[in-house]
Amino acid sequence: MSEQIESVETFRLRAREWIKANLGPIQPFDLTQDCADDEEELVAVARDRALQRKLYDGGFAGLCFPKELGGQGLTPEHNRAFNEELAGHEYPSRFTVPTFTPCAAVIMEFGTPEQKLAHIPAILKGEEFWAQMLSEPGGGSDVAGATTSAVRDPATGDWILNGAKVWTSRAWWHDWGIVLARTNWNVPKHQGLTVFLMPLQQAGVEIRRIERLNGETEACEEFMTDVRIPDSDRVGEIDGGWTVGQRWMFHERMGHNSPYVTQPVGLSHGRTEATPVAIARQAGRIDDPAAQELIGESRALGLVASELQRRLASGAAAGKGNTDMSSVARLFRGMANVRQRTIAFDLAGAGAAGWTEEESDGVGVQGMEFLMRQVSCIGGGTTEISRNVIAERVLGMPREASGDKGVAFRDVPRGPKRS
Amino acid sequence: MWHVLTSDQELLRDTTARFLGDHVPLSRQRKDLRRDPAGFDPSYWRSGAELGWTMLLVGEEDGGGSVSGRGAVDLALIAYEFGRNAAPGPLVDCNVVASALTGHAGDLQKGVLGEVLTGGAIAASVLGHAPWQNPGEAAITIRKQGDDLIIDGTLRPVESAKQAGYFLVTGRSESGMTQVLVPADAAGLSVTGLRGIDVTRRFGAVSFDGVRAPASALVGEYGQAGAQVSRQIENAAVMLTAEAVGAMDMAFAMTLDWAFDRYTFGRALASYQALKHRFADMKSWLEASHAIADAAAEAVADQSPLAAEKASAAKSYIGEQGPELAQDCVQLHGGIGVTYEHDLHFFLRRVSLNRLLYGTPAEHRRLLAKIQIEKEAAA
């Protein structure tokens, strides 16, 4: 059944017209997911659901999802054109990551026909927000060392889940999660994992908000106690979870560049930050040569970081260097961000000690930004892990000794030995 | 350096690489050339000029030309090989002066450019007033007296000052920056040789005591040389950073080999995580340095609106990380790293010296800040 696909340019004009007629200007809470309080956040969530439904009814939801699942069956080029037309307009920002990718992407790649039918149309209609449940309190970078356990109930064939997951963004209002769990403790760690789909808002799932040191509470921790999951909500093979997991993490890395994600181009994520020049000016130090050196250093690091990204991309395109070179970019970005935060803190001077209720950027907030500085070297895999990857897989140095290679996971040390 | 080159660019680079390897191997620089007044034979420089070392920033109408249409990129390939070989010779200054003289109609300028192109004469840049300085800080002044120009002041360091036949002097005039081309035998001009940190290169202090030059010796307009000086500094930054990246590549490769070969407590150095992480850091600096050096060369070649920023970003970032990397390589070598017998010091010298020339990291950061402040004032 070869159906003629609408040309990108015709599609673009149709999209432009529809967007103009139906979508308002971009809102502050589209640029950043941060809201003043939970009440405002729930309003934003409801508004995102309604906006996603509007896209669905207008025939513009899920451009790269198949038609039989409620999508439009179009190409990444159509999605890019739509995103370009969407510039400056409001959009359902909370669906982009992690709902469309990695969650919907994983269901598309590994889900059964029934799972796809049950969830992809619901996601595209704005009815289901999805969270990804990968990290655990007991293991940061060692994702495959998951200890959340799923045990088969021989009577019903259901799985009984127990354990905890952590760093799940805004899980407290999400509907579903994909979960990586251990189903076999008698084989090495990568061979005993399985992936499940799980409703989040249920009795056996306790969701706790994690307060970061700056007071912000977007991340959550979930404790699962005897959560019953039917086998029909298993994704991929039993004990085949690492196959799913590796692609899951690929889709996670794709993030906002995924063809499944619809969002306006030209968006900068996170809050709109005061520039080093603005901070120095506000601090009354713009003519100070020492301050100018800091401003210039910060600017240079920004230029170097983007050129490094370009070099690594061109190296990959030319077949030079291996895929682990991406760890070089991760390490550089982490260290450069840390330095830039420190520079902003230095430029702000004593003014960074306190701020008024009205200040959302500038000198006053640099103190708190500084306290949160190391996030850029922790989130998404620590810089220590990237240093290991660079040393071992790029430079070919000997691997670190590990206690879990070829060992049944049951026998892998998970804490200090006690006599 | 670039992942992909044209075959013409590869030929240009490989020819220079072979020539440097044959004529100025480190074994020769360590002994014979160490005490040589110039650091190289005149025939070496003339042969290099024949290979294209001094023509890449010069227009075809003046007898120059590039192989790719992007002279600064081609020149960066040459400079990179200079860095890898810790090669002697005033590559940076001759090209800076050549780029300043191309397109000028005057007989003096044309004549000097011709000599620089053939390698028959060496020209050095005397940057007696730089864009990162405040007006009062200039080391050299140039004023009008009748139809003549009078130059006063002293500047150091000036590369190959004892060997140079001509100096392109940058100084402060009452109306702004001025550049004048002066022969080395001008009355009132004196050169004092300096001892320096790089055994492969020579520097001097150049003094001007009421040196008189005709108005026809001006390069650009009197008091209006600011923009051209900035472009010359961008060209210098491209060469100095490409050289530094070549030297960093050599120091890093040498140290990586050492980490695999050197055993201590029954293990290769490469097996210690504390050291592995330092190599990973160095690798990230090295890749970042390649990236920004290449980007600066492209932006300068294309005269992109970001040329000044990318050149200053490269000069400040590599000026900082180049010596850091080389010093870390010394540390990872241990005692042998500070011996004259080992090759490592040639690359430490190169990156440390290049950090200082044509603007230190702090000076280029201030230039970047000025651009940023202007941009945000305009926005």
User: Which of B137, B276, B375 to mutate against chain A (most A CBs within 10 Å)?
Assistant: B276
Q: Measured between beta carbons, which residues in chain A are less than 8 angstroms from residue B310?
A: 303, 307
Q: A308-333, pLDDT tens digit by residue? A: 988 988 888 888 766 788 899 999 99
Across the A/B interface, how many CB contacts are shorter than 8 Å? Answer: 137
Q: Measured between beta carbons, which residues in chain B are less than 8 angstroms from residue A297?
A: 316, 361, 365
Choose the closest CB to A304 out of B268, B273, B291. B291
Any domain includes A386: yes
> Residue A286: pLDDT above 70?
yes
In CATH, what number does B227-378 get?
1.20.140.10
Two tokens, residue A66: 């198949």
- B268 shares contact with chain A (CB less than 8 Å): yes
Q: Measured between beta carbons, which residues in chain A are less than 8 angstroms from residue B297?
A: none
Tell if the CB–CB gap between A292 and B369 is shorter than 8 Å: yes
Please give the backbone phi and psi of residue B191, each rounded to the nearest 5 degrees, phi first.
Answer: -125, 130
Whether residue B72 contacts residue B235, with contact meaning beta carbons closer than 8 Å, is answered with: yes
Whether residue B228 contacts residue B328, with contact meaning beta carbons closer than 8 Å, is answered with: no
Which one, of B38, B40, B26, lies nearest residue B345 by Cα? B26
Domain count within chain A: 3
3-state secondary structure chain A: CCCCCCCHHHHHHHHHHHHHHHCCECCHHHHCCCCCCHHHHHHHHHHHHHHHHHHHHCCCCCCCCCHHHCCCCCCHHHHHHHHHHCCCECCCHHHHHHHHHHHHHHHHHHCCHHHHHHHHHHHHCCCCCEEEECCECCECCCHHHCCCEEEECCCCCCEEEEEEEEEEECHHHCCEEEEEEECCCCCCHHHCEEEEEEECCCCCEEEEECCCCCCCCCEEEEEEEEEEECHHHEECCCCEHHHHHHHHHHHHHHHHHCCCCCCCCCCCCCCCCCCHHHHHHHCCCCCCHHHHHHHHHHHHHHHHHHHHHHHHHHHHHCCCCCHHHHHHHHHHHHHHHHHHHHHHHHHHHHHHHCCCCCCCCCHHHHHHHHHCCCHHHHCCCCHHHHHHHHHHHHCCCCCCCCCCCCCCHHHCCCCCCCC
Two tokens, residue B362: 């702090």
Average pLDDT over chain A reads 92
Q: Is the previous residue joined to B42 through a cis bond, with omega within 30 degrees of 0? A: no
Tell if the CB–CB gap between A387 and B277 is shorter than 8 Å: yes
Any domain includes A410: no
Tell if the CB–CB gap between A391 and B277 is shorter than 8 Å: yes
Residues A284 and A248 in one domain: no
Q: Measured between beta carbons, which residues in chain B are less than 8 angstroms from residue A304?
A: 288, 291-292, 313, 317
Q: Measured between beta carbons, which residues in chain A are less than 8 angstroms from residue B3?
A: 311, 314-315, 318, 320
* pLDDT for res A268: 55
Find, in chain B, the residue whose alpha carbon is nearest to that of A279. Answer: B373
Length of chain A: 419
The pTM for the full model equals 0.90
Residues A239 and A297 in one domain: no
Residues A123 and A147 in one domain: no
Please state which of the ranges A316-330, B83-97, B246-260 shows the lowest mean pLDDT: A316-330
Tell if the CB–CB gap between B291 and A395 is shorter than 8 Å: no
Please give the backbone phi and psi of residue A162, each rounded to the nearest 5 degrees, phi first.
Answer: -140, 140
Residues A209 and A292 in one domain: no
Q: How many angstroms separate the CA atoms of B20 and B242, rounded?
A: 16
Tell if the CB–CB gap between B284 and A312 is shorter than 8 Å: no
Average pLDDT over chain B reads 97
> Residue A418: pLDDT above 90?
no
Any domain includes A216: yes
Residues A155 and A248 in one domain: yes
* pLDDT for res A252: 86
Residues A77 and A138 in one domain: no
Please give the backbone phi and psi of residue A236, each rounded to the nearest 5 degrees, phi first.
Answer: 80, -175
The helix (H) or strand (E) run that includes residue B28 is helix B26-30
> Residue B188: pLDDT above 60?
yes
Any domain includes A388: yes
**Where are the domain boundaries for CATH 2.40.110.10 in chain B?**
123-225
* pLDDT for res B136: 80
**Residue B188: how many CA atoms within 13 Å on its side-chain side?**
12
Tell if the CB–CB gap between A295 and B372 is shorter than 8 Å: yes
Question: What does the pLDDT average to over A32-53?
Answer: 91
Q: How many angstroms separate the CA atoms of B48 and B236, rounded?
A: 18
Instruction: Give the confidence band of A3 by pLDDT, cuts at 50, 70, 90.
Output: low
* pLDDT for res A137: 92
> Residue A100: pLDDT above 50?
yes
Domain that holds residue A41: 8-94+118-127
Instruction: Give the confidence band of A270 by pLDDT, cuts at 50, 70, 90.
Output: very low
Question: What does the pLDDT average to over A383-403?
Answer: 95
> Residue A355: pLDDT above 70?
yes
Two tokens, residue B20: 């440097």
CATH code for the domain in which residue A13 is found: 1.10.540
> Residue B54: pLDDT above 90?
yes
Residues A240 and A341 in one domain: no
Q: A115-149, pLDDT tens digit by residue? A: 999 999 999 999 999 999 999 998 777 889 999 99
Tell if the CB–CB gap between B283 and A395 is shorter than 8 Å: yes
ipTM over 0.85: yes
Any domain includes A418: no
> Residue A2: pLDDT above 60?
no
DSSP B5: -
In DSSP notation, B152-188 reads EEEEEEEETTTT-SEEEEEEEETTEEEEEEEETT-TT
Tell if the CB–CB gap between A292 and B316 is shorter than 8 Å: no
Residues A122 and A153 in one domain: no
Q: How many angstroms separate the CA atoms of B90 and A153, rounded?
A: 80
Choose the closest CB to B273 out of A289, A301, A400. A400
β pairing state of B166-173 and B123-127: parallel
Q: What percent of chain A has pLDDT over 70?
A: 97
Instruction: Give the confidence band of B266 by pLDDT, cuts at 50, 70, 90.
Output: very high
Length of chain B: 379
**Where are the domain boundaries for CATH 1.20.140.10 in chain B?**
227-378
Q: A56-93, pLDDT tens digit by residue? A: 999 999 999 999 999 999 999 999 999 999 999 999 99
Residues A314 and A242 in one domain: no
Q: Which residue has the higher pLDDT, A2 or A4?
A: A4
So what's the architecture of B7-118 in CATH? Orthogonal Bundle (1.10)
> Residue A282: pLDDT above 90?
yes
Which one, of B109, B207, B215, B217, lies nearest residue B161 by Cα? B207
> Residue A271: pLDDT above 50?
no
Largest CA distance in chain A: 76
Q: Which residue has the higher pLDDT, A398 or A321?
A: A398
CATH code for the domain in which residue A329 is found: 1.20.140.10
Tell if the CB–CB gap between B3 and A315 is shorter than 8 Å: yes
Instruction: Give the confidence band of A1 by pLDDT, cuts at 50, 70, 90.
Output: very low
Q: How many angstroms separate the CA atoms of A260 and B267, rounded?
A: 49
CA A96 to chain centre: 9
**Where are the domain boundaries for CATH 1.10.540 in chain B?**
7-118
How many Å is the Cα radius of gyration of chain A? 23
Q: Is the dihedral of CA A143, A145, A146, A150 positive or negative?
A: positive
Q: Is B309 strand, coil or helix? A: helix
Any domain includes A225: yes
CATH code for the domain in which residue A148 is found: 2.40.110.10
Whether residue B88 contacts residue B129, with contact meaning beta carbons closer than 8 Å, is answered with: no
Query: Measuring CA to CA, how many Å separate B95 from each of A243, B76, B234?
Result: 57, 11, 12
Any domain includes A384: yes
Residues A289 and A377 in one domain: yes
> Residue B349: pLDDT above 90?
yes
Which one, of B163, B149, B167, lies nearest residue B207 by Cα? B167
Find, in chain B, the residue whose alpha carbon is nearest to that of A316. Answer: B3
Q: Measured between beta carbons, which residues in chain A are less than 8 angstroms from residue B281?
A: 331, 335, 387
Find, in chain B, the residue whose alpha carbon is nearest to that of A327. Answer: B284
Top CATH class of B123-225 equals mainly beta
Residues A231 and A345 in one domain: no
Q: Measured between beta carbons, which residues in chain A are less than 8 angstroms from residue B284?
A: 328, 331-332, 335, 390
